[in-house]
């Protein structure tokens, strides 16, 4: 059921742009110049880090938000009806006070389907998705996997042409998620679902390669499509197949070889810092320094071994490159000399090395330390730094950046922070 370029189009997305925050003001640009065409019979994955706007795009297609610019057109089918969509949520989004049956009937209710037909169609969807026997159960009585089956049945019962899925398996444990993926693919290939195309948002590279015919890789700040990767593998796909592994590795390389975010922010101290704990940094250095990697670790293997998703792994790896403790090349994390020394050092030496790296490569940390040194031990209000950051980024980003630099600075003991008075000081620093 692979789509060719000649298959009928279902939806055309052209030049979509969207900002968060009040329009007119400089809200953060979450989507820029997004073009995308979905065709009959294809499964397309939107792959990217959290905050790259892929969920926003999905919601725009679902009609939940209206993008600031660009167009989203549904191509009428041969009989002239516009294709409909339904959505599956990461959080399942079930109504806790409705039974499984009532949850599934919800969408039909809105379409004013007569009760008898509603019941028949809902029972059919429940049967299809493997939920029979649970019709009268309430969501809180179900396991996570069963709940997401309800979410799927509720989406399918309205006969959508296009099924939108927002990280549908990421709230499930590994085994359950795999079962659901396989079941969904089986239904898809057996043609037992009414849907004509699926659009899947994910940050799990293997999931994208396993399920999709085509993967659109999203880049962040602003969210845009950085690459389109066709998946030519035949179904059923085998995760251990060398061709599968090669493709996964290639996507890792593609996603890390982009111009590093640091280059996109030439603003020095106003560079946003991701929320990465010093423990994760140390953990990744230790993992990459140990055998069998000895300082050269393919990200795909690291992720697989430690059950990390790209949202856990990429920010940590990129922070290491920012601190010049590692390089990312061809999907591999390559530790620098400093990182090897760090891995071998004891706690105090590690703190000292981390502190030196902070002062040298994180302008905001250097800036705070510099101000404190200038004031000769007088504490400095955190507000001033917050204000400086907010000149360049949204308050939420500023708060997160300040939280991150505080945590790093405390660990490195280059400055201290007092929550009660909201000030930085040198007091506890060495």
Partner 1 sequence: MIVWNAWSPGAGARRDGTLASDIAVFVLLAAVAVLIARGAEGMAEPLARLRQVPVTLDPANLPGYALRTTLRMFAALAASLVFTFAAAALAAKSRRAEMLIIPTLDILQSVPILGFLTFTVTFFMGLFPGRQMGVELAAIFAIFTSQAWNMAFSFYQSLRTVPEDLREVSASFGLSPWRRFVRLELPFATPALVWNTMMSMSGGWFFVVASEAISVGETRVLLPGIGSYLALAIDVGDFASVGWAVAAMAGVILAYDQLVFRPVVAWADRFRFEQTAAQTRPRSWVYDLFRRTRLFALLLAPLRKLGARPPRRSRKHGQAHRSAPARRRGSLRVWRVVILVAVIAGGWSVASYLSARLGWSDVRNVLGFGVLTMARVVALIAAASLIWVPVGVWIGLRPRWAERLQPAAQFLAAFPANVLFPFVVIAILRWRLDPDIWLSPLMVLGTQWYILFNVIAGASAIPNDLREVARLNGLTGLRWWRRLGLPAIFPYYVTGALTASGGSWNASIVAEAVSWGRDRVEAAGLGAYIARATAAGDMARVTLGIAVMSIFVIAFNRLLWRPLYGYAERRLRLA
Least distance between partner 1 and beta carbon 359 (Å): 31
Position 66 contacts partner 1 (CB under 8 A):
yes
Could you say which of 5, 78, 112, 263 contacts partner 1 (CB under 8 A)? 112
Size of the site for partner 1 (CB under 8 A): 40
Q: Which of 47, 86, 251, 271 binds partner 1 (CB under 8 A)?
A: 86
Q: Is 189 in the site for partner 1 (CB under 8 A)?
A: no
Question: What b/e readout covers 254-289, taking b as 16+ CB neighbours within 10 angstroms?
Answer: bbbeeeebeeeeeeebbbbbbebebebbbebbebbb
Rounded-to-integer distance, Cα 287 and Cα 58, Å: 36
Complete edge-to-edge strand list for the sheet that includes strand 9-19: 29-39, 9-19, 69-74
Q: What is the distance of C-alpha 180 from the center of its chain?
A: 20
The residue (of 47 and 158) whose beta carbon lies closer to partner 1 is 158
95 binds partner 1 (CB under 8 A): yes
d(CA 61, CA 161): 13
- Residue 39 in tokens: 């065709």
CA nearest 106: which of 165, 158, 168, 166?
158
CB 171 within 8 A of CB 91: yes
> What DSSP string describes 351-392?
HHHHHHHHHHH-HHHHHHHHHHHHTTT--EEHHHHHHHHHTT
- Binding segment toward partner 1, per CB under 8 A, in 131-139, 192-200, 273-281, 390-398: 131-139
Which residue in 8, 75, 77, 106 binds partner 1 (CB under 8 A)?
106
Cβ distance to partner 1 smaller for residue 91 or 378: 91
* Interaction of residue 120 with partner 1, rule CB under 8 A: no
Q: Is 86 helix (H, G, I), strand (E, B) or coil?
A: strand
Tokens for 303, please give them: 């992720």
- Tell me, residue by residue from 132 to 171, as one string, x for binding to partner 1 by CB under 8 A and - for no binding: ----x-xxxx------------x---x-------------
Listed ranges 100-108, 204-212, 319-327, 362-370: which one lies at the site for partner 1 (CB under 8 A): 100-108
Judged by CB under 8 A, which of 1, 14, 64, 396 binds partner 1? 64
- Burial (CB count within 10 angstroms: exposed 0-12, middle 13-18, buried 19+), residue 340: middle
Q: How far is the CB of 305 from partner 1 (least distance, A)?
A: 31
Q: Which of 31, 85, 150, 288 binds partner 1 (CB under 8 A)?
A: 85
Q: Which of 8, 29, 77, 98: binder of partner 1 (CB under 8 A)?
A: 98
172, 207 Cβ separation under 8 angstroms: no
Least distance between partner 1 and beta carbon 63 (Å): 4
20 binds partner 1 (CB under 8 A): no
Instruction: Classify residue 379 as left (phi > 0), alpha (psi -120 to 50) or beta.
Output: beta
The residue (of 86 and 398) whose beta carbon lies closer to partner 1 is 86
**Binding status of residue 72 toward partner 1 by CB under 8 A:** yes
Residue 119: Cβ within 10 Å count: 16
Residue 71 or 378 with smaller CB distance to partner 1: 71
Q: How far apart are CA 221 and CA 259, in angstroms?
A: 12
Cβ at position 372, least distance to partner 1 in Å: 25
Q: Tell me the closest approach of the beta carbon of residue 12 to partner 1, in angstroms.
A: 13
Binding of partner 1 by 326 (CB under 8 A): no
136 three-class SS: coil
Chain positions contacting partner 1, by CB under 8 A: 22-24, 59, 62-64, 66, 72, 74, 82, 84-87, 89-93, 95-99, 102, 106-107, 109-112, 115, 136, 138-141, 154, 158
């Amino acid at each position: 059921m692979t789509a060719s370029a000649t298959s009928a189009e279902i939806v055309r997305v052209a030049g979509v742009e969207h900002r968060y925050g009040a329009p007119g003001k400089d809200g953060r640009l979450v989507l820029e110049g997004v073009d995308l065409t979905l065709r009959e019979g294809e499964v397309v994955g939107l792959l990217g880090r959290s905050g790259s706007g892929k969920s926003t795009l999905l919601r725009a297609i679902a009609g939940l938000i209206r993008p600031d610019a660009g167009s989203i057109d549904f191509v009428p089918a041969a009989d002239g009806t516009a294709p409909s969509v339904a959505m599956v949520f990461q959080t399942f989004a079930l109504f806790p006070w409705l039974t499984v049956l009532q949850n599934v009937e919800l969408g039909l209710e809105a379409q004013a389907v007569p009760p008898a037909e509603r019941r028949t169609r809902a029972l059919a969807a429940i049967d299809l998705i493997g939920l029979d026997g649970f019709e009268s159960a309430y969501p809180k009585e179900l396991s996570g996997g069963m709940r997401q089956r309800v979410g799927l049945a509720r989406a399918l019962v309205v006969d959508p042409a296009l099924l939108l899925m927002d990280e549908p398996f990421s709230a499930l444990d590994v085994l359950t998620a795999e079962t659901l993926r396989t079941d969904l693919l089986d239904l898809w290939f057996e043609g037992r679902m009414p849907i004509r195309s699926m659009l899947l948002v994910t940050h799990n590279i293997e999931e994208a390669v396993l399920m999709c015919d085509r993967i659109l890789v999203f880049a962040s700040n602003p969210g845009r499509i950085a690459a389109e990767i066709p998946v030519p593998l035949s179904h059923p796909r085998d995760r251990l197949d060398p061709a599968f592994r090669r493709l996964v590795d290639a996507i890792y390389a593609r996603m890390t070889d982009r111009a590093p975010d640091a280059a996109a922010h030439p603003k020095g101290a106003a560079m946003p810092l991701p929320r990465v704990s010093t423990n994760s940094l140390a953990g990744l250095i230790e993992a990459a320094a140990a055998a069998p990697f000895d300082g050269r670790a393919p990200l795909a293997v690291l992720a697989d071994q430690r059950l990390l998703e790209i949202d856990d792994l990429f920010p940590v790896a990129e922070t290491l490159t920012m601190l010049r403790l590692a390089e990312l090349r061809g999907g591999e994390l390559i530790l620098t000399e400093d990182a090897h020394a760090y891995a071998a050092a004891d706690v105090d030496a590690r703190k000292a090395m981390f502190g030196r790296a902070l002062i040298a490569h994180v302008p905001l940390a250097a800036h705070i330390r510099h101000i404190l040194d200038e004031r000769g031990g007088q504490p400095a209000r955190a507000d001033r730094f917050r204000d400086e950051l907010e000149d360049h980024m949204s308050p939420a980003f500023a708060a997160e950046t300040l939280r991150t630099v505080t945590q790093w600075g405390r660990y490195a003991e280059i400055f201290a922070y007092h929550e009660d008075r909201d000030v930085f000081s040198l007091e506890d620093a060495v």
